[in-house]
Amino acid sequence: QVQLVESGGGLVQAGGSLRLSCTASVSIFSFDVMGWYRQAPGKQRELVADITIGGSKRYADSVKGRFFISRDSAKNMVYLQMSSLKYEDTAVYYCKIERTAGSSWGQGTQVTVSS
């Protein structure tokens, strides 16, 4: 079972920035895809951004140009750099990995953007 631990959430004013980190218990090159999802109160969990083992990235339309996903294979970490944060970015952010054996989720980290 892969363990994923997120960190970096917090309270930030609108227009501010945060960087989320996700640390995996095994090599990230064992994963087909690593991604960030979020879930706001009363809403479904949605994809924010993900990156494939080949390095291809995709972003939700709502975050394009503001969020940037990256990884550090030496540290088994994936990051989500969030800039120009908006009130509507408030949510619990989850790290997710996908591989042949299945998928795993982290416990989530709260991001709260004050308007």
At 1 the pLDDT is 82
To 5 degrees, how large is the angle CA 54–CA 33–CA 90? 125
At 46 the pLDDT is 98
At 28 the pLDDT is 86
At 30 the pLDDT is 86
Q: What Rg value do the Cα atoms of the chain yield, rounded?
A: 13
Residues of the chain with pLDDT under 50: none
The answer to whether 59 touches 69, Cβ cutoff 8 Å, is: yes
- d(C-alpha 113, C-alpha 89), whole Å: 7
| 58 CA to centre of own chain | 12
At 110 the pLDDT is 98
The answer to whether 79 touches 61, Cβ cutoff 8 Å, is: no
At 29 the pLDDT is 84
Tens digits of per-residue pLDDT, 81-102? 999 999 999 999 999 999 988 9
β-strand partners of 111:
10, 91
